[in-house]
Structure 1
Amino acid sequence: MAERYETVWEVLRRRAEATPDGLTAVDEHGRRLTFGELRVEAEAVAAALAARGVGEGTVVSWQLPTRIESVILMAALTRLGAPQNPIVPISREREVGFMVAQLRTRLLVVPDVLRGHDHAAMARDLAARDPGMDVLVLTDRLPRADPATLPPPPAPPATFAGYPVRWVLYSSGSTSDPKGARHTDGSVLTMGRNLIGRLELVPDDRVAMVSPFAHIGGMTWFVISLLAGCANILTERFNDDAIAALSREGVTIAGTTTPFHEAYLKAQLASPVPIFPRVRAFPGGGATRSLDLHHRLKAAFGGVGVISGYGSTETGPLTIPSVGDPDRVLAETEGRPYDTTEIRIVRADGSLAGTGESGEVCARGPQMMLGYVDPALDTAFDRDGFFHTGDLGSLDAEGNLRITGRLKDIIIRKGENISSQEVQELLSLHPSIVDVAVVGMPDPVVGEMCCAVAVLAPDAYPLSLADVRDFLLGKGLSIQKVPERLAFTDALPRTDTGKIMRHLLREMLA
């Protein structure tokens, strides 16, 4: 029998029929949504959107916070087969305007005013530049209509290569325009199935959705909920109330990046009782972590530590350990590639690196994007179809990946390469430092200076450059890699997903 390929909507419909009363989402206010309710709501919203002209091939961009309405809208668009472009709420007119213009968006869905920003006014200003784009401002409920008016759902493709583009997600641009990654239902479902297997997810699991839902992570965990029958705990803003909601709802999978894990640790250390008594994994990725984070989590949470994976908007998740892997793998690596994934480590000259040797991480697999919206950017793919990530890493003898830095974050001082991540990881072990980033700054004498920007613990004594030097030399770091400049800040600038915004640090240092 020929293999059969599914759409995301087909998976949703089947889940709603199998476990209609199963929970798919709950928010910090206690609002709950079952799979059966999700299907009913999604079809009603899809009918209203269809009445506005949305259908297969109609690009819909939406910029909503992490709310139940976002889950319903995502599901409604899968019912219509409309390509959807989720946009994180922190994006502003320059970024949103670039995306909707490049995609020729026909409907832009935004909140009214969110965290002091008038999204509705911004959307209307953008629509004034493009008379063909409609705007839907969400003040309360999504629009609804009679599902009987809906056309048939999109048919599944006959081959995996036949999946059309249904998802476009933009990677955050720091100093240039954002890049749009074109995904399909096939790539998204592959991402979900891969993570379910490694994390051994079951219907009883409750997942912390603490980073933006309008992100590749939100899309992936939405699909995981449909495939595994588990539920996402939605928090619009990450704060003490969000952690309390995760505790109240019995979180078992508590992601998602280092800043969140550090916040969980702080909350647990201040609590006389376990805050997450059911937690069984702290998945992470997308942001660097200290070498001892896994062990600190284990000590605080009854033996449960980090399960850090690796991937990107373009590639989807590429690696992650299994829940039963040994501490060495969990603490020091991003795990091994999924069965669907091939990873190569490539030297600067294009040859393959050996075991344990650092080089550029290149990947190939069905969970990856078809390509960028701008085909001129597809030079990131080589002739064998491997995507060149721009990250530096190595594979050990067991196939586990360790990320050692980024090509563009290599600091070249007097012709010698310095990995900013290597220095950063060692500095994070200093007892007075709670967060740190290392960046290169142009210098007319040495080419680039190695600069550290640190956040000190509240009770820490003032650190000097000499203190930092002595600490790093004591950890075995070569003298040429020791930072030549040290600065302090109250908090490192980060994106909503925890990535350090290095360009802002360089502006600060300049």
Structure 2
Amino acid sequence: MTDTAHALGASRTLWELIDRRATLTPDRPVLIQDDRRLTFGELRDGCERVAAGLYGMGVRPGTVVAWQLPTRIETVLLTGALARIGAVQSPVIPFYRDREVGFAVRESKAEFLAVPGEWRGFDHTAMAGRLGARGVFEAYDTLPADDPSVLPPPPAEGTSVRWIYWTSGTTSDPKGVLHTDRSLIAGGSCLAHALRLTPEDVGSIAFPFAHIGGADYLVMLLLYGFPAVLFEKFALPDALETYRKHGVTTAGGSTAFYSMFLAEQRRRPGEPVVPTLRLLAGGGAAKPPELYHAVVREMGVQLTHGYGMTEVPMITMGSPDDTAENLATTEGRPPEGMEIRIVDGEVRLRGEAVCQGYLDPDQTAAVFDTDGFLITGDLGHLTPSGHLVLTGRLKDVIIRKGENISAKEIEDLLHEHPGVGDVAVIGLPDADRGERVCAVIEQPPAAPPLTLAAVTAYLRGTGLATHKLPEQLERVEALPRNETLRKVLKYKLRERFGAGAGADGG
């Protein structure tokens, strides 16, 4: 990490980091979207004007503001404005629907909810009305603005909880994860330090900015003073023209992104899909070693992969100067200040990037051990060089394209279907998605055979988010169970169906 980036990383708050970077390089670009460019100076000034507009609406330090917005310049401005006020912000992934959004708004006690209006065929404002949310306002391309002179001083410390992120984990309902400005700055600093980026790089944010990775990436831009291209909607090959136009040098997000870029490369061997691209990086899902080798060999770029979660946005990260063996088979090393302890094969964490716990105090008490280490539920070990190797998970959670999906939530909904006697939902390895969602069902006697189309239609009707829908359906006479408590043995199902989709799979 450069001396400047190291000094900026000591910022107490996100707003202080925004302000200090704007003072250093006010005219350098930070956000690029379509034909729009925003400099660091314009980011700071715009955030202050929006903060004044929000203040006029009644947003004060400590006010909880939920927002469900796509990856846009306006979304980043809103984030910075809330940080300037010292409000508590609760980002919600934009493709979540009534169940998840309603839970997040209720549990966080949000006094305001920012939505994009009608976006990609779905009316978010109407949903907010159905949910009875308070303080609903649309923030897609127009934000409230006023004279910043009305604002109180910015927050002076960064250790108060000002962020509530949401993760499904292993339970049906999401968990509200509590973060501070300092924990997010620490996570972003880890990412920036590992990737060895420079002010000459051009990054990209092709994933939902509402994901905790959005804050991670913003911190990295502020530390190193380089821009990122924002993608409101990401699909290949359509996005390639934008990558080329802006000379993107680093891209990625998760295993699914690597696979998509590799597939495009294979359609045009010998011709770089993005000539300026030198690095793919990400995390959030398992990375097969063969995928690493294929990307390096066929695309001619480096690939670095890391390990993070909503509770700890960046734990370890591969570095471009690691060996090929470590980049292919490990999750990288932790930065200075991140302690990893392996207890009975389980990974535990302590450090500034670790969250403060959950909205539910009982959940918080259960996730920290007596030494203050976060119990991850992930299994792994450290190599002699300090690299982390993950070997499995204790948590029954499926990670599809970097997003956590609760198996129990889907199982609970399917149990209500009259054609389902019993069900187990599992994650199966998938080269494109990291994992795919597979529902394995027992049906009552004489019940008509269920199809994947029928199951997904039913789940859509319950309001389940699209990205959680099963992509594979398997019917069995009886789910495998142990002989004591008759618990379903999901590992047997993974062994049986993990090779590929079944006759009714997708």
TM-score by length of 1: 0.78
Residue in structure 2 matched with residue 389 of structure 1 by the alignment: 376
Structure 2 residue 124 is matched with structure 1 residue 119: yes
Residue in structure 2 matched with residue 199 of structure 1 by the alignment: 195
SS in 1 for 2:253: coil
Deviation at 1:16, TM superposition (A): 1.0
- Residue correspondence of structure 1 range 231-380 to structure 2 within 5 A: 231-239=227-235, 240-271=237-268, 273-302=271-300, 304-347=301-344, 359-378=345-364, 379-380=366-367
Residue in structure 2 matched with residue 448 of structure 1 by the alignment: 489
For 2:233 and 2:498, the matched residues in 1 are separated by 37
SS in 2 for 1:91: coil
For 1:438 and 1:14, the matched residues in 2 are separated by 44
SS in 2 for 1:21: coil
8 Å contact from structure 2 (residues 188, 314) kept in 1: no
Structure 2 residue 25 is matched with structure 1 residue 19: yes
Deviation at 1:73, TM superposition (A): 0.6
Per mean C-alpha deviation after superposition, the further-off stretch among 270-279 and 326-335 is: 270-279
For 1:483 and 1:209, the matched residues in 2 are separated by 34
For 1:30 and 1:268, the matched residues in 2 are separated by 26
SS in 2 for 1:390: strand
8 Å contact from structure 2 (residues 188, 215) kept in 1: no
Distance 1:449 1:70, change over 3 A: closer
8 Å contact from structure 1 (residues 69, 142) kept in 2: yes
For 2:111 and 2:241, the matched residues in 1 are separated by 39
For 2:120 and 2:505, the matched residues in 1 are separated by 20
Residue in structure 2 matched with residue 72 of structure 1 by the alignment: 77
The code of the aligned residue for 1:135 comes to V
SS in 1 for 2:340: strand
Distance 1:443 1:50, change over 3 A: same
- Residue correspondence of structure 1 range 214-225 to structure 2 within 5 A: 214-225=210-221
SS in 1 for 2:314: strand
For 2:170 and 2:160, the matched residues in 1 are separated by 29
Structure 2 residue 87 is matched with structure 1 residue 82: yes
For 1:251 and 1:267, the matched residues in 2 are separated by 16
Distance 1:452 1:34, change over 3 A: farther
Q: Provide, for residues 400-451 of structure 1, a one-character-per-residue CA deviation record: whole Å limited to 9, x for no partner.
A: 11111111459xxxxxxxxx99x949xx6xxxx9987597963258853656
Residue in structure 2 matched with residue 460 of structure 1 by the alignment: none
Deviation at 1:43, TM superposition (A): 0.9
For 1:236 and 1:244, the matched residues in 2 are separated by 15
8 Å contact from structure 1 (residues 439, 452) kept in 2: no
Residue in structure 1 matched with residue 223 of structure 2 by the alignment: 227
Higher relative contact order (CA 8 A, sep 6+): 2
- Residue correspondence of structure 1 range 388-427 to structure 2 within 5 A: 388-408=375-395, 424=429
The code of the aligned residue for 1:448 comes to L
8 Å contact from structure 1 (residues 60, 85) kept in 2: yes
Deviation at 1:174, TM superposition (A): 7.0
Residue in structure 2 matched with residue 94 of structure 1 by the alignment: 99
Matched residues, percent identical? 44
8 Å contact from structure 1 (residues 341, 364) kept in 2: yes
The code of the aligned residue for 2:67 comes to W
Deviation at 1:487, TM superposition (A): 3.2
8 Å contact from structure 1 (residues 449, 484) kept in 2: no
Structure 2 residue 49 is matched with structure 1 residue 44: yes
Deviation at 1:231, TM superposition (A): 1.3
Distance 1:235 1:451, change over 3 A: farther
Residue in structure 2 matched with residue 134 of structure 1 by the alignment: 135
Deviation at 1:290, TM superposition (A): 2.1
For 1:322 and 1:119, the matched residues in 2 are separated by 40
SS in 1 for 2:251: coil
Residue in structure 2 matched with residue 143 of structure 1 by the alignment: 144
SS in 2 for 1:361: strand
The code of the aligned residue for 1:142 comes to L
For 2:360 and 2:433, the matched residues in 1 are separated by 40
Runs of 4+ in 1 over 6 A off after TM superposition: 433-436, 489-492
Deviation at 1:328, TM superposition (A): 0.3
Distance 1:409 1:8, change over 3 A: closer
Deviation at 1:148, TM superposition (A): 1.8
Contiguous gaps of at least 5 residues in structure 1:
158-162, 348-358, 411-419, 454-480, 493-510
